Structure 1
Amino acid sequence: MGLEIVTEQQGQVHVLLLGGRLDAEGAVDLELALQELEGAGARYFLFDLTALNYASSAGIKVLAHLADRLRGKGTTWLAGVPDSLREIFTQPELAQRLPVYADRRSALARHSQAQLDPRLVSAATELMGAPAADSAAAGGGASDLTQAAARLLGAKTAPERVETRNPTPLPPGREPAGLAAKLKRWLGPKS
């Protein structure tokens, strides 16, 4: 079994679930996936290693080099390191470059880029046809429409295979009327 890479996004954080073997061949696949994501502007990465059962030095180097490239411009974190690999990933020189968290949830809770601005979600929800007050349903959960707005803004909830596509831009003059003005009004002046 080779390396399987499943990616999702929460806020600006790209979460990559790595499964199987991160050997020399898997390292090449991972590097190609990372180059594609970085080329599309990704700067915040969280690697969920719960399904990883082997990591070679080649695979570890890919993760460490990513952390070095992003130093000061982004983050590279690890979560859910299996007990069988814990000794490797918690070595001091590696742990300084690649912080390790117990699980994905705890890492995302600590990452400021994983959070969406609630004003932006509210604005997107209203643009989709629901009142802004719909952003929190009874019991503190989000409505289906609010969840859809959050997904449109990059908070994907369902995993997807690594595949980055640039959206097709609208032709000039076909943008929704007043969209930029509405967003400026809802979000207020830049701080």
Structure 2
Amino acid sequence: MLADLLFAMLSAEEIPPPTFEQARASCFASRALTRERVAGCTQILDAATLDERTRARALFRRAGAYYALRNHRAAVADYSSALALDPAMSEARLNRAISYRALRQFDLAIADYDALIATNPREARLYNNRGNAHRDAGHTDLALADFTEATRLNPLSPQAFFNRGALYMQLGRDREALAEFDHALALDPQYAQARSARSQLQPR
């Protein structure tokens, strides 16, 4: 038994690292597991042969994996590096703003949303997301203005009506909150958050 164990230990084989193409596939394949994506992207980023566009995309992909793993600081670092290579990569700026909010760095999140809105002033989700950051930062009036603009730009968005209702609820304006939750549920009858929030309210 001992001899067999020693033989197994002495005869163990090393597993070769993935090839560059295998690492590239792990980085860019949509179905790659998050840790596999981090490893694959890291391997190809260590190569000196990547052009700037591919390097920016690899950083973006790794950042998304870091976010999924709740490593928001690493996600911010990679999104920032991607933006340094490609300042027009709006999805990297959007996702960095989301990561900043997860880190409770609300002013930095708002700054990214400001930049995005400057170039996409009719994108309702940007106002909705910035409204969330303003609300978390305690900027109640600015949050309300952003949610209202989001509902104006996209009156079919249940999320914007729900967020405005949640803010009204926070402010004790229950009748207005109920109206917003009802509107959100009219747009999406399966909206569990809106239904749950509505059930907690009684008009004042």
TM-score of the two chains, using structure 1 as the length reference: 0.25
The structure where strand makes up a greater share of residues is 1
Q: Which has the higher contact order (CA 8 A, sep 6+)?
A: 1
TM-score of the two chains, using structure 2 as the length reference: 0.24
The structure where helix makes up a greater share of residues is 2
Larger Rg: 2
